[in-house]
Amino acid sequence: MTIMANIEEAGFRPAARIASVGVSKILQIGAKAAAMKREGLPVIILGAGEPDFDTPDHIKEAAKAAIDAGETKYTALDGTPQLKQAISAKFRRENGLDYAVDEVTVATGAKQILFNAFMATIDPGDEVIIPTPYWTSYSDIVEVCGGTSVLVPCDAQSGFRLQAEQLEKAITPKTRWVLLNSPSNPSGAAYSAKDYQPLIDVLLAHPHVWLMVDDMYEHIIYDGFTFVTPVALEPRLKSRALTINGVSKAYAMTGWRIGYAGGPKALIKAMAVIQSQATSCPSSVSQAAAVAALNGPQAFLKDRQDSFKRRRDLVVGRLNAIEGLECRTPEGAFYTYASCAGVLDKVTPKGQKITTDADFTDYLLEEAHVAVVPGSAFGLSPFFRISYATSEAELVEALDRVEKACAALQG
């Protein structure tokens, strides 16, 4: 269902620019699961896109100190000098990237970074190449900004990673951006230097195409995987790349709403123009907290990574033991993206045939009271996403129920 249909029911005339934007399937499932919970049903929701950890104390303390020091006013438009310094230092320290403070921008979450960047660069008809499965906001933001999303399916065989031939084929004279996300929401797949290189080679041959990379899950990686970001691998891309990151996932700060990016000065300035008419600046208190996150101790990230890894192994192991399901081991993030091809065409105990991944996830919600998100919400079927950012006890209970529900299918 589109937002348009919803709003028209309420008697409004919505703007044409939101006509093609869907109400997130994730939100729809979340709302249904929450309603079932209110009715007293024991629903387990494995849909959350945020860590279940708390924001570390030293970050909270920095925010309290900022309030007490009167840092409660508008700040510089696209980030305080202190935060831009901290980001510039982070890029150098962790990524080997050389972004000066005037090549850095801060916004109200990485989501606003994406919005600012597309608003500032896309004209009607401009194309943005997005590999799927993808975080659905990407294409929705592109469409709201008047662009055209060019979705390129990347299957499990290729590790859900875009291949050079696919990129080459998708590029047209109208291509403005290609958008890569590693580790990925929803697949957890990540690109190594070796995976990136052929894509970089294609980009070097097409100078009109800009590269946007979303490194949001950089700190949630497993099994000694080495995180890399393309501009560090190929500095010639720096003049036409935007490297996006944020504090939401690494530091469990989703509610503080701070995202940031490094890019060429002209783009950063254009993004600030959009921000100046949208939010004026990110929250002053949250920016002080983000300074503490980036400049403060980083050791706890490893403990959190270990905890996520245990849960990843638990979920992947259990899913692969269930007949009809198949799950590749993700390199990062806190999601699994399992195939449910093996349960399609089976029939539920109530006699309903499962023909799509959405049928399967509806069945899991209604009969097993487990809320997960179908691959159709992320542009690649038949799969379903589990977010394992929840307790191991809850994961075990949820997987017991999924196993039982799958065993009850006939045919």
Q: Which residues bind ligand PLP (CB under 6 A)?
A: 49, 109-111, 135, 181, 185, 214, 216, 246, 248, 254, 259
Nearest distance from C-beta of residue 324 to ligand PLP, angstroms: 28
Nearest distance from C-beta of residue 185 to ligand PLP, angstroms: 3
Of 31 and 407, nearer to ligand PLP (C-beta) is 31
Of 120 and 368, nearer to ligand PLP (C-beta) is 120
Nearest distance from C-beta of residue 342 to ligand PLP, angstroms: 27
Of 147 and 368, nearer to ligand PLP (C-beta) is 147
Nearest distance from C-beta of residue 26 to ligand PLP, angstroms: 9
Of 44 and 258, nearer to ligand PLP (C-beta) is 258
Nearest distance from C-beta of residue 90 to ligand PLP, angstroms: 15
Residue sitting closest to ligand PLP (CB): 109
Nearest distance from C-beta of residue 312 to ligand PLP, angstroms: 16
Of 99 and 138, nearer to ligand PLP (C-beta) is 138
Of 109 and 133, nearer to ligand PLP (C-beta) is 109
Nearest distance from C-beta of residue 173 to ligand PLP, angstroms: 28
Q: What is the 3-state secondary structure (H, E, C) of the chain?
A: CEHHHHHHHCCCCCCHHHCCCECCHHHHHHHHHHHHHHCCCCCEECCCCCCCCCCCHHHHHHHHHHHHCCCCCCCCCCCCHHHHHHHHHHHHHHHCCCCCHHHEEEECCHHHHHHHHHHHHCCCCCEEEEEECCCCHHHHHHHHCCCEEEEEECCHHHCCCCCHHHHHHHCCCCEEEEEEECCCCCCCCCCCHHHHHHHHHHHHCCCCCEEEEECCCCCCECCCCCCCCHHHHCHHHHHHEEEEEECCCCCCCHHHCCEEEECCHHHHHHHHHHHHCCCCCCCHHHHHHHHHHHHCCCCHHHHHHHHHHHHHHHHHHHHHCCCCCECCCCCECCEEEEECHHHCCCECCCCCECCCHHHHHHHHHHHHCEECEEHHHHCCCCEEEEECCCCHHHHHHHHHHHHHHHHCCEC
Of 147 and 282, nearer to ligand PLP (C-beta) is 282
